[in-house]
Amino acid sequence: MNKLREPVIYSFDQITYLVDIEKQVLRQTDAPEKEISFINQMTDFGDHYLLAWDEQKKIPATGPEKAEPYIIPSLLELDPEGMAARYGLTPEQLAGRTDFDVMVDQDALRARQNGILPQIDIAGEKFIVDLRLQELRHAQYFFPTISLKSLELTDDGWHYEGFYEPIMKQVVSLDPKLTEFPNGIIKIRLPNEIGLDPVGTARIYGMAERDLLRRYPIKKELKAEIIPLSETQVPRLIQQNREQLQREHEQITRRMRPGKRPRF
């Protein structure tokens, strides 16, 4: 059993905070609902952060008035053990690196900044992610393409889903009156734009690239999840259609029965 680590505590201005490297915040120990974000409320200088602080209200300053600058150490300095464990590195590998260097794969970032688009594996086939054109292009043949608009966003907005025909490599619509499982059709789930290409998303929507990458680093290997049709709405749809056919059959049978013959 892994031994639980003692939480890392950092103090300034006579207030103590728990260092949360997962959410990248300082959380006030006596009021956990009060958080200070390293991303949104501090300026990253690489080896440290600068926090504009309102000493009267004891909160991050919202303007230059009465703002006192506080130098906050990097997460690597505050919790090197936690950062090493979180990002699968040894403490020695952290030397000379910044928080951003550790959180974001620098080789993958350079490749993306040099114009190399990410790729995603869909049912064993590689597709190039092109957010500018809102499409996934077959990496080898460049055709067919899958329009992101042909997929549906999940209710939480974090994934795309759709029914997919692997041989034709196309998103398909199911017959709403089907009574059997469709042959060769699968359901796929893949990340939304941020998960597919955070750099491209930042450029298209005018977002701060470094801040977005700190929250959602580039994923080296993207792979669509295959969802069995048995775990979708398809079985329920098939059952409903079969029951409807049975009702229609019974109605037709009743109409075809001969009426009572008169007695003579």
* Mean pLDDT of all residues in 100-111: 96
Structure confidence at residue 1 as a pLDDT band (50, 70, 90): very low
Model pTM score: 0.86
Comparison of pLDDT for 220 and 18, the residue scoring more: 18
Q: Quick: pLDDT tens for 196-211.
A: 999 999 999 999 999 9
DSSP of 53-83: EETTTTEE-SSSTTEEEEEEE-HHHH-HHHH
Residue 261 is predicted with a pLDDT of 59
Q: Residue 264 pLDDT > 60, yes or no?
A: no
Per-domain boundaries in the chain: 9-91, 106-239
- The CA R_g of the chain, rounded to the nearest whole Å, is 28
The CA distances from residue 252 to 33, 228, 249, 256, in Å, are 65, 36, 5, 6
Residue 258 is predicted with a pLDDT of 65
Structure confidence at residue 142 as a pLDDT band (50, 70, 90): confident
Look at residue 247 and give its three-state secondary structure.
helix
d(CA 156, CA 191): 11
The residue assigned the tokens 């759709």 is: 162
* Mean pLDDT of all residues in 34-60: 96
Structure confidence at residue 62 as a pLDDT band (50, 70, 90): confident
d(CA 190, CA 79): 33
Look at residue 109 and give its three-state secondary structure.
helix
